[in-house]
Amino acid sequence: MTERNILHIRDLDISLGTGDKILNGVDLAIAPGKILGVIGESGAGKSMIGSAIADTLPVGLAISRGSIEFDGLTLTDMTAKTRRDLLGRDIGFIPQEPMTALNPTLTIGQQVGRHLARIGIGSARKREQRAIELFTEVGLNRPGELLKNYTHQLSGGMLQRVLIAMAFASNPRLVIADEPTTALDVTVQLKVIDLIAKMREAHNTSVLFITHDLQLAAEVCDDVAVLYAGQIVERGEARSIINEPRHPYSRCLNLATPNLAGPKTRLMILPKAMPSPLERTAMAGCKFTPRCPIAGDLCIGTPPPLSEISAGHRSACHWPERTETITPPPLKADDENTVLGADLVMKATGLGKAYRQHDWLGRVRRVEALRGLDFEVREREFVGIVGESGSGKSTLTKLIVGLEDITAGVLDVVGMDRATTPRERFFDRVQLVFQDPQSALNPRRRIGSLVTQSLECRGSGLSASARKQLAKDLLAKVMLPPDMIDRFPDQLSGGQKQRVNIARALCSNPRLLIADEIVSGLDVSVQAQILELLRELRKQASFSLLLISHDLAVVRHICDRTLVMYRGEIVEQGPVEDIFTNPQHAYTKKLVAAARGNSGLYADATEQEAENEAF
Amino acid sequence: MRISFRLPDLSLLIGGSVAGLILLCALFAPWLAPYHPNDQELLYILAPPVWSADGSAEHLLGTDSLGRDTLSRLIYGARTAMTVAAAASFGAMILGAFFAHLAGYFGGWVDWIISRTVEVWLSFPPVVLSMLLIIGLGVGTDKVILAIVLVDWTRFCRVLRSEVQVVRGQDYVAFARLIGFSHARVIVKEILPATLPMLITLLSLQMGISVVVEAILSFVGMGVPSDVPAWGQMIADARIDMYDAPWGLALPIFAIFVTVLSFNLFGDGLRRTLDPRHTANRGA
């Protein structure tokens, strides 16, 4: 029975020096040629599984119990040298960020050559031949030329293909893919997934696919294991876990993910956060109890075993049958009928932005980042902007907030011409919520001071106690406890920081709020909290929102209208439902198809064309 | 939240306490020194220190070729060294930090001019440059301080500029501009607090460097006036009799060594302690 498995992880514990467990009793097995997905939010310990196999655990962590068997060999008993020989040859890796995984000072050919030499191809000519073969196999055009290129000359999708080619070069029996698509654009993601699936079939390789994305896992994996707080809570066939989860956590994750099809619902909000390793040690029963909507007394004291509930489907819950009773909070009556104001908050006519680039000889080249944008945003309207990296989304934000100058057309913001009106008049009316709360909150200020920062430079006439009260009110608006005002940003979780970030932008009662990818770095459950918060705020406050996102489902969930941007132009705009159910422009069709996970809708030819333009 | 148990940094502790001791010597020199540093006792020329065979308890560390008490001169020398080190380092820090923040924050042509100036400045050998300045300015403690400031501000400017650039790239700086902070306010309120740890660390390292430069200038007779006791001067004076009275040479060298080492240790310790990556888990 066990002989059949390529990888068998038995009862694996990974602990900190203090004895607190990062992973607790993880049991996984992959049969030859299968893809096993490991799903979990940040902090669940999913990357630790890959690190444990590769022997690259961070300092301070060690395997304290259990074993990892690879093809009948026990990895955990091997000497470092034999284990290293196995890695890269019998076990391949596909990293999360292709841009940082390759050395920018060497050509692609040199790096692939080194890897091929390591797996035992002696002569340089054979190595080149093999590299060209591999590149053709992963669908890269002009492989011969590619070998002479440096990493910065290739797009992220192409680099990921190079890395996939390298991972499969030695016909490994196992490939570990740690979030291989997270850093890529939506339309590229799917191709990479398809490619991994195709390579898996061609080489009969098993794949350990680590991801936070439920939909992605559903598409690519045969089996799935859901990881929560270092333990596997549910394991089984991918489709059945995604569609009919038998563990409350899987079910909640599912309900917290905004979807592209079906009726609009409110998202499931999981209270509190995942317990830290320290807190887990103190918990006797099921680690999910404090957040579980169906937890009972039994859950607090007794940990549920990972027991089989139907053939091949295991769930660590005392009441797996109750899982279906979990439903998202119902839509409130006033949810859908927000009244839009009559006034325009923003109006762009023929808006454009061109940069002048100098090369080393001083020759000037004009690069048009934005061309002829026409759109408007009404009062209290939520508008989404979708498009992939390089489409000009961020340049547009910079124009609106005045960080860049307009070079063509007219941009009217809150009734004033952006180009001619002095900057000061916009300060209170337009606010930006930054993407990365880590970078947007000064780590040396306390939360209270951060939230009311915009009052600081103008004589607000508020006393210290009034400011404190205002800070507390703002925190209450974003559902944070008032005692948080004396803390530093470092002491907050990612989701909490993002809420402080939003509260801070609301301080001056802006009429237009611009949110630049504010949920993209967050976990599913935290994303749900922020999205529901925005919908809630919409009812009380009177501001318009411009939400920039690469995630169509997020835009659909909270926006009224959407603009689709492609290469500096708006290719399509209209009500969210219309755009997503009946896209007109070829690019929108592709985008919607990619988000739906339907790769058959577009031909492979267009994809190659788009990628090769990176040269 | 993980609780970190961190011992106070050892080099910070040792460096800081030794540097503090030297500073106390400098401050209370008139009360600590047994004799006036320039009092000559021609009967006791080149007396050995107390632990050698002919040593006497009257002059604990012996006397020099003019019969001046070595211990007293060392203590008063610390006063000169510390005055120069503190004043020159502060001066260099203020000048360097000012230009570094301008260059790093505004970028563009401001950065271009400041960076090129710094590069040209740095291409002069520092000691030669300070000697040239002394020739132009004349001898005197204040002139030595000015010379060191003019030579060493570039060191601050270069290191800090890149630090400022990093902080400037943070979104919170952009946010401060968006809510209407003036440039000066952004620099003082948002950027300076982030570069301050680096500034303090550099200051402490610069104190050590200033001590060495002052000693070199005094050694070649281009530092403080001859009636002000300085370690460099003591080395120069003892050089003639170095075979008969090696102690006269060794003691001021040892004083310089200990001072510079303590400042370097202190600076190293500060850098580690103030590093934001280590202070990520501070308590509320």
* Percentage of chain A exceeding pLDDT 90: 5
What band does A209 get if pLDDT is binned at 50, 70 and 90? very high
pLDDT score for B275: 67
- Using CA atoms, how far apart are residues A389 and A392, in angstroms rounded to an integer? 8
**A30 and A179 part of one domain:** yes
pLDDT score for A610: 46
Q: What does the block give as tokens for A165?
A: 């080619």
Separation in Å, CA of A402 to nearest CA in chain B: 8
**A389 and A264 part of one domain:** no
Average pLDDT (A428-454) is: 86
Q: Do B284 and A491 touch (CB under 8 A)?
A: yes
Q: For B212-239, what is each residue's pLDDT tens digit?
A: 999 998 888 888 888 888 999 899 988 8
Residue pairs between chains A and B whose CB atoms are closer than 8 Å: 63
**A218 and A240 part of one domain:** yes
Average pLDDT (A152-160) is: 83
- Largest separation between any pair of C-alpha atoms in chain B: 76
Count of C-beta atoms within a 10 Å radius of residue B136: 9
Is 60 exceeded by the pLDDT of residue A591? yes
E strand residue ranges, A17-150: 21-30, 35-39, 61-70, 73-74, 91-94
| Contacts A278 to B, Cβ<8 Å | 2
Chain A interface, mutation test: which of B109, B112, B172, B279, most A Cβ atoms within 10 Å?
B172
Q: Do A434 and B171 touch (CB under 8 A)?
A: yes
**A527 and A552 part of one domain:** yes
| Contacts B2 to A, Cβ<8 Å | 276, 278
Least CB–CB distance from B194: residue in A278, A444, A453: A444
What band does A601 get if pLDDT is binned at 50, 70 and 90? very low
Closest alpha carbon to A205 in A164, A235, A237: A164
Average pLDDT (A437-465) is: 83
Q: To which residue do tokens 């000061």 refer?
A: A424
pLDDT score for A1: 43
pLDDT score for B7: 61
| Contacts A276 to B, Cβ<8 Å | 1-2
Average pLDDT (A83-111) is: 86
pLDDT score for A332: 65
* Percentage of chain A exceeding pLDDT 70: 94
| Contacts B175 to A, Cβ<8 Å | 432, 434, 440, 453, 504
pLDDT score for B187: 93
Is 80 exceeded by the pLDDT of residue A336? no
Residue B116 touches partner A, C-beta closer than 8 Å: no
**A361 and A217 part of one domain:** no
A149-153, A223-227, A366-370: range with highest mean pLDDT: A223-227
Task: For the sheet with A21-30, list strands across it.
Answer: A21-30, A7-16, A61-70, A73-74
Domain finish residue from A279, A306, A325: A325
Q: Per the domain annotation, does A115 fall within a domain?
A: no
Residue A276 touches partner B, C-beta closer than 8 Å: yes
- Using CA atoms, how far apart are residues B176 and B185, in angstroms rounded to an integer? 9
Range of the domain at A294: 2-90+170-325
| CA angle (B79, B83, B87) in 5-degree steps | 170
Q: For B12-41, what is each residue's pLDDT tens digit?
A: 899 999 999 999 999 998 898 888 888 888
Q: Per the domain annotation, does A121 fall within a domain?
A: no
Provide the CB-side half-sphere exposure for A369 (13 A, CA). 19
Q: What does the domain layout of chain B look like in residue ranges?
A: 81-224
Q: Do A436 and B171 touch (CB under 8 A)?
A: yes
Q: The dihedral of CA B36, B38, B39, B41: what is its sign?
A: positive
Separation in Å, CA of A380 to nearest CA in chain B: 21
Q: Per the domain annotation, does A455 fall within a domain?
A: no
Least CB–CB distance from B172: residue in A423, A442, A488: A442
**A345 and A308 part of one domain:** no
**A297 and A351 part of one domain:** no
Domain finish residue from A279, A295, A325: A325
**A283 and A212 part of one domain:** yes
| CA angle (A466, A472, A475) in 5-degree steps | 145
Chain B interface, mutation test: which of A20, A274, A403, A442, most B Cβ atoms within 10 Å?
A442
- Residue window 156-185, chain B: list those with CB within 8 Å of chain A: 170-172, 174-182, 185
- Using CA atoms, how far apart are residues A488 and A447, in angstroms rounded to an integer? 6
Q: To which residue do tokens 């005002």 refer?
A: A485
| Contacts B284 to A, Cβ<8 Å | 486-488, 491
Least CB–CB distance from A441: residue in B172, B193, B276: B172
Strand partners, A310: A313
Q: The dihedral of CA B5, B9, B14, B17: what is its sign?
A: negative
**A407 and A556 part of one domain:** yes
Q: What does the block give as tokens for A185?
A: 């654009």
Domain finish residue from A325, A358, A377: A325
Average pLDDT (A89-117) is: 87
**A218 and A358 part of one domain:** no
What band does A460 get if pLDDT is binned at 50, 70 and 90? low
Is 60 exceeded by the pLDDT of residue B197? yes
pLDDT score for B14: 92
Q: Per the domain annotation, does A318 fall within a domain?
A: yes
Q: Per the domain annotation, does A107 fall within a domain?
A: no
Q: For B143-187, what is each residue's pLDDT tens digit?
A: 999 999 999 999 899 999 999 999 998 889 988 888 888 899 999
Quote the distance between the C-alpha of residue A232 and its chain's center.
21
Residue A74 touches partner B, C-beta closer than 8 Å: no
pLDDT score for B279: 46
Task: For the sheet with A35-39, list strands across it.
Answer: A91-94, A174-178, A206-211, A35-39, A223-228, A231-237, A313-315, A307-310
pLDDT score for A366: 79
Q: For A495-519, what is each residue's pLDDT tens digit?
A: 888 889 888 888 888 888 998 888 8
The CA-atom distances, in angstroms, between A174 and each of A55, A71, A88, A97, A237 are: 15, 9, 10, 20, 19
Class of domain B81-224: mainly alpha
**A382 and A518 part of one domain:** yes
Quote the distance between the C-alpha of residue A269 and its chain's center.
18
Residue B260 touches partner A, C-beta closer than 8 Å: no
Average pLDDT (B112-116) is: 94
**A83 and A207 part of one domain:** yes
pLDDT score for B100: 95
| Contacts B181 to A, Cβ<8 Å | 456-457
Q: Do A443 and B276 touch (CB under 8 A)?
A: yes
Least CB–CB distance from A427: residue in B179, B190, B194: B179
The three-class DSSP label of residue B229 is coil
Is 60 exceeded by the pLDDT of residue A341? yes
User: The domain spanning residue A594 has which CATH number?
Assistant: 3.40.50.300
Q: Per the domain annotation, does A196 fall within a domain?
A: yes
Contact A541, A379 (CB under 8 A): no
Higher-scoring residue by pLDDT: A62, B3: A62
- Name the helix (H) or strand (E) containing A550: none
A158-167, A224-233, A529-538, B94-103: range with highest mean pLDDT: B94-103
Q: Per the domain annotation, does A419 fall within a domain?
A: yes
Q: Do A423 and B180 touch (CB under 8 A)?
A: yes
| Contacts B180 to A, Cβ<8 Å | 423-424, 427, 454, 457-458
Range in A256-260, A555-559, B113-117 the model is least confident about: A256-260
Is 50 exceeded by the pLDDT of residue A599? no
Q: Per the domain annotation, does A486 fall within a domain?
A: no
Least CB–CB distance from B284: residue in A276, A435, A486: A486
User: What rounded mean pLDDT belongs to chain A?
Assistant: 83
Q: Work out how many domains chain A is built from and give that number.
A: 2
Least CB–CB distance from A432: residue in B178, B190, B284: B178
Closest alpha carbon to A214 in A264, A261, A254: A254
Separation in Å, CA of B194 to nearest CA in chain A: 8
- Using CA atoms, how far apart are residues A299 and A249, in angstroms rounded to an integer? 14
Chain B interface, mutation test: which of A430, A457, A460, A506, most B Cβ atoms within 10 Å?
A457
Separation in Å, CA of B201 to nearest CA in chain A: 18
- Residue window 424-463, chain A: list those with CB within 8 Å of chain B: 424, 427, 431-432, 434-436, 439-444, 453-454, 456-458
User: What rounded mean pLDDT belongs to chain B?
Assistant: 86
